[in-house]
Structure 1
């Protein structure tokens, strides 16, 4: 069973992570990797919904051991094709995006603590904001 963590199980941890809100993309997760994102701000609300793009962030959480994870954040635009593109975010929206990141991190910490899991980020929030 090398490379797999027994406590908590992937399904138990994923269940806990789903409870923090709409951030978790279950289809892009496995027992060693969890993918989260947030469509924080619409780029142009005048466009029809299927053509809208969003400023926001995404995060990859990788299990390093039973009790340690590493979080890597990215900023960019969620395009009309439904894909993230790393790019600078309009300065007018940076504080709103930072707020969603901070809210998410508080919820992530609360979801991981009961399982005895800590995480570190690979960069300071200010580096990608």
Structure 2
């Protein structure tokens, strides 16, 4: 990252936590920041510990001048693992909306507030996301 905006891992965690409920501090590290959203419950009738969700996960990796990102969609299963699965049509709009809202906040933080780049990773298999509206 550039010298003028180099932030410590601790300060980045604080800024990422302020974005909302997306940041997963426990599985993030200085070389990889992890975010996700459990957007749509598959079956609300199940016990809370057995519920599964449709949603997305998002990873940031530091670069010389900012971050590269990659993300995916799928099922957050009852074991607490992300499974890469197609989102059913009836859940797709809600899942897309939470990703768009998150990405807009993240882009604003990195690009406009911290003057850091946000670029797709070479490993990205989903469509490239666009910046703030």
Residue 45, structure 1, aligned to residue 44, structure 2: yes
Q: Do 1:24 and 1:36's aligned partners in 2 also have CA atoms closer than 8 Å? A: yes
| Cα distance in 1 between the residues matched to 2:45 and 2:26 | 30
Instruction: Note the alpha carbon deviations across 1:87-111, whole angstroms, 9 max, x for none.
Output: 1111111111110010001110122
| Residue in structure 2 matching 1:89, options 87, 90, 103 | 87
For residue 105 of structure 1, what is the aligned residue in structure 2?
Answer: 103
Query: In terms of mean alpha carbon deviation, does 84-93 or 107-116 score higher?
Result: 107-116
Counting only pairs closer than 5 Å after superposition, residues 24-103 of structure 1 correspond to structure 2 as 24-65=23-64, 67-103=65-101
SS of the equivalent of 2:45 reads coil
The runs of at least 4 aligned residues of structure 1 exceeding 3 Å deviation read none
TM-score scaled by structure 1?
Answer: 0.86
Instruction: Report the aligned-residue RMSD.
Output: 1.9
Number of equivalences: 122
In structure 2, C-alpha distance between the alignment counterparts of 1:37 and 1:125, rounded to whole Å: 17
Q: How far apart are 1:125 and its partner, in Å? A: 5.2
Structure 1 stretches lacking a partner, 5+ long? none
What residue number does 1:120 align with?
Answer: 119
CA contact (8 A) 1:8 1:115 kept: no
SS of the equivalent of 2:97 reads helix
Q: Which runs of 5 or more residues in structure 2 are unaligned?
A: none
